Chains A and B, each alone.
Chain A
């Protein structure tokens, strides 16, 4: 994924340049002069194998960190909603990743990264087909040319991409919480990870038309977050607000039930982002300095956005607002996701500050527009995903592979970035809007008023997150399947 060099548009290995890769050749060059032919060959072989091993370890460990973000999303979303809907939100978070794991393996990965047209990939269903990974560049022959820049085995590439697909799907679950029918959400998860995320992602990361224009999204401000955020917006609009959210033309606050969960969730997401962004190098041997830079820019942008949202909410609402500050931290992380590899720490601070202000403006705006988003997913992932992607065209440094306006790179990159993020966001919004409209007309998307008031936990799952008073007595068993 991660197109870095606008000039390298059609190449299938944009990263090779930045990471100084071209795996066996580098190793040969490094050791050729040191020993005789026999020894050199052995040393070369050892170095090459070690390089692949270390890079693979890096990709898998950071992939596991990104997987852990599922736990963060589950806690944030559960904490920011009613206790009566906690089981439902946890079930949605678990099941969207279960579904994604199968759907993205079967079809999604092929649509996204398989060789194909500028619009979608057409090879590699069920990960089947020729592939010579971990060979890179010209040495690579296979059907996933768009990932041939990274020298790790195919299954490592797949796992790392899978956890990203799972993230995009799970963004939506919070925004539609408290009133959605579970079967509709399951169907949505399948379609999201099979088609919506995968095909739109192909445009930027799979060698599609946007990457050919020089569009850059390092770790997915748009590919993952804006796509997820605008999918969430479409779903929330079709679904309508929760009962009681708007009364007498006013926005009625519906506070979450557990701020401790929410805070823990945000910290887990923050930790997970140290996999999301630095892991998107998909290798560490070629350029450890770049990885370290991304750790720094990622963290400092989150911090700056948290400070900004805390300050703005303090000024605007009179007190430092906890849930707004948590959303602000996440907004900074979303925004720095696209530019993390291309900006200086100062650029990262500015990107974060803007994200923190944007999220405090966006959340009340969507509330006033009648979009009921219980967790702020549209503002955090949608709005700040767009901002972060555009910021590459402002703060990107030419020395790092991006031509930002403020670094003297001209306006071209900003225009391409804007076109890219807006077209992908619009595509996500439109396709998900149609999907939920179809679901509404067929299987139904919304529980009844009685079920909604009583909570989705009992209505949809026959279970409660917190022990009911009945637990004081012996349970009245009625038998399996009764």
Chain B
């Protein structure tokens, strides 16, 4: 299991969400964040004084997935979030020790299978390997 953290442009969020849903990933948690990367600072002004805004508004998605879903999830985000300009964001993939679904007490792979999915039928669009599907938010 992996924890995927993606930081994307706010205006790409709709496209990212649609791409993830299409890839069978339905569980995600969103945060509004501000960040600094390679994107140049913006000049703003306040009553005659000019100052730099160095942190840009971004949206952070946190997604827990079983191993077969890691590739499709990352691919979907990259495809949908990319504009080609500096400031498109980053994706971080980390090991995930344990997942618990609070409602049922299910753990790990079972806890990552979306509600309403019969058995373990959910498979990633790309490799077709069996296994748990995307994680449910919140992580």
Interface residues of A (CB under 8 A from B): 244, 453, 458, 461-464, 468-470, 475-482
Contact = CB atoms under 8 A, between A and B. Distances in A.
A461 B42 CA distance: 12
25 contacts: A453-B11, A458-B44, A458-B53, A461-B45, A462-B42, A462-B44, A462-B45, A463-B44, A463-B45, A463-B46, A464-B44, A468-B34, A468-B53, A470-B34, A470-B53, A470-B54, A470-B55, A476-B52, A476-B54, A477-B50, A477-B51, A478-B43, A478-B51, A481-B50, A482-B43
A244 B15 CA distance: 11
Main secondary structure of the interface of A (DSSP, over half): loop
Interface in B38-62: 41-46, 48-55, 57
Contact of A469 (B44, B49, B55): B55
A108 B11 CA distance: 43
9 A-B pairs with least C-beta separation: A469-B34, A476-B52, A475-B51, A462-B45, A462-B44, A453-B11, A482-B50, A478-B50, A469-B55
Chain B contact residues (Cβ within 8 angstroms of A): what range?
10 to 19
A476 B42 CA distance: 11
Contacts of A470: 34, 53-55
Contacts of A475: 51-52
A458 B34 contact: no
Contacts of A481: 50
A255 B50 CA distance: 31
Contact of B49 (A458, A461, A477): A477
Contacts of A453: 11
A463 B48 CA distance: 11
A480 B46 contact: no
A374 B14 CA distance: 20
Contacts of A477: 49-51
Nearest to A252: B14
B50 A468 contact: no
B51 A458 contact: no
Interface string B1-43: 0000000000100100000000000000000001000000111
B55 A468 contact: yes
Contacts of A462: 42-45, 50
Contacts of A468: 34, 53, 55, 57
A449 to B, nearest CB: 10
A453 B11 CA distance: 7
Contacts of B49: 477, 480
Contact of B52 (A244, A458, A478, A480): A478
Contacts of B54: 470, 476
A431 B46 CA distance: 37
Nearest to A453: B11
B69 to A, nearest CB: 27
Given A469-B34, A470-B55, A482-B43, 6 more contacts: A462-B42, A468-B53, A469-B55, A469-B57, A477-B51, A482-B50
